[in-house]
Amino acid sequence: MIAVPESVAKGGPSAEPHTQVGAPILRITALRKSYGTHEVLRGIDLDVMRGEVLAIIGKSGSGKSTLLRCINGLEVFQHGSLIVDGKHLLYDNPKAMRDLRQGVGMIFQNFNLFPHLSVGRNVMLAPHLVKKRPGAENDARARQLLARVGLAEKFDAMPDKLSGGQQQRVAIARALAMDPAIMLCDEITSALDPELVGEVLRVVESLADEGMTLLMVTHEMSFARKVADRVIFMHQGLVHEIGPPAELFGAPRTPELRQFLSSLHD
Amino acid sequence: MPEFTLWDIVRNLLLAARWTVALSFIAFLGGTVFGLLLLLMRLSGRRVLERLVGIYVQLFQGTPLLMQLFLLYFGLAVMGVNTSAWLAACVALTLYASAYLTEIWRGAVAAIPRGQWEASASLALSFGQQFRHIILPQALRIAVAPTVGFLVQVVKGTALASVIGFVELTKAGGMIANVTYEPMLTYACVAAMYFVLCFPISLYARALERKLA
């Protein structure tokens, strides 16, 4: 018998039971999404615990990026529900969307730095506008985050003067500046030259070590194996296999996953 | 019969040219404000508003400016609104400029990669903040040269206001030609004045294009 908190009895919106300690930080239930008649996600159920690191793998077109982009509302889904840190995703409520997005950072394949702003201002813009963080504090925090990703000396540089790996690290600092509870990484090393992949993955790994909840769509299988707590193999818009990396990579149960893994070694 | 010197002609044309400049200025300013409003409506993501702006743009781009002037001048009178040639010309040219400017700017906004919208949205910026801090500064760089270039079209477009009796450079030229019996000389002066107004703007637009490219 669980004691019912007062707010639940009153039916308050903050009373979602899964916001309690040990409950999932992200809960996706029966999520379906289609573009026109083509169904891309065909019923996804997924719970992610706080501090968990998830790697999402699968062929292109399997819906893995779409799933990631649903989590912060960049893609609109038609059926099902998505709850982040106790907040329901509500498309028709811009205020609720912004509240939810404050808790969800995202890093993109193409970095998407703001090219007209210096590195420092890229990092400081959102905390300034959205969190109203005071100037001096914002500045100090941005410098600290840039130092953390190894780019302290680039504070005043313009993004186009940086290498791809450096730009991606700035993007990570920019996302961290909003103090998100979850970080989404959408193939963040796919646009990088091979010699620059390592520097970005090292930063991501340090996030994982510090307990950040991470969901990453990735083609870096060895990285997924090393860092992820669970790996999700997506196939034709469904979670086809899910489990610890040793299990998925070591003993794939389905022919689709076996085929996918062997295709990587070709 | 009085004699007219070249200076008489030029002096009177210059006086009338002030109205051409004033009309261009008002049309451009009004068109900018109204065009920006239309642009925001178009980007709002509301289907009905987008559709309405689309129709508006097509309407103004698909009909001659001359007809727009006529319809506004006589249409307002028919509806019982007491209108002057000056007011009708200002309104018509403002609407005309807004339709073209909003289309130029829509193109500039569309040229900004989708990732810029997505990155700023995922940082929890509101639509207004995205537009003001991320999209506008980048779109401005793309749009400024064609926008200044369009100003030339507006300046030349003001000549049509002469047909509803507004005395600007072209209308004044006609009146002076009638009095002086020197149509060639007069209209050459009129043309030269338009050129003097427009050429620096064209040069400036081209310089901007080079600088911002």
Report pLDDT digits (tens) over B104-151.
999 999 999 999 999 999 999 999 999 999 999 999 888 988 998 899
ipTM summary value: 0.88
Report pLDDT digits (tens) over A69-95.
999 999 999 999 999 998 899 888 999
Report pLDDT digits (tens) over A19-49.
455 679 999 999 999 998 999 999 999 999 9
**B48 close to A (CB below 8 A):** no
pLDDT at B81: 80
Chain A positions in Cβ-Cβ contact with residue B127 (cut-off 8 Å): 94
Give the span between the Cα atoms of B104 and A166, in whole angstroms.
Answer: 35
Residue of B117, B120, B122 to mutate when probing chain A, most A C-beta within 10 A: B122
When pLDDT is averaged across residues B69-88 and rounded to a whole number, the result is 86
pLDDT above 80: residue A266: no
pLDDT at A11: 39
Residue of A112, A125, A215 to mutate when probing chain B, most B C-beta within 10 A: A112
Tell me the average pLDDT of chain A: 90
pLDDT above 50: residue A132: yes
Inter-chain CB proximity B122 and A114 less than 8 Å: no
Task: Annotate B65-132 with three-state secondary structure.
Answer: HHHHHHHHHHHHHHCCCCCCHHHHHHHHHHHHHHHHHHHHHHHHHHCCCHHHHHHHHHCCCCHHHHHH
Inter-chain CB proximity B138 and A106 less than 8 Å: no
Inter-chain CB proximity B126 and A94 less than 8 Å: yes
Report pLDDT digits (tens) over B156-199.
999 988 888 888 899 999 999 998 888 999 999 999 999 999 99
pLDDT above 60: residue B1: no
Angle between helices A164-176 and A119-129 (to 10 degrees): 20
Inter-chain CB proximity A125 and B122 less than 8 Å: no
Residue ranges of domains in chain B, CATH in brackets: 6-212 (1.10.3720.10)
Inter-chain CB proximity B124 and A178 less than 8 Å: yes
Report pLDDT digits (tens) over A194-251.
999 999 999 999 999 999 999 999 999 999 999 999 999 999 999 999 999 999 999 9
Inter-chain CB proximity B124 and A102 less than 8 Å: yes
**B66 close to A (CB below 8 A):** no
Give the span between the Cα atoms of A1 and B138, in whole angstroms.
Answer: 58
Chain A positions in Cβ-Cβ contact with residue B138 (cut-off 8 Å): 115-116
When pLDDT is averaged across residues B202-211 and rounded to a whole number, the result is 86
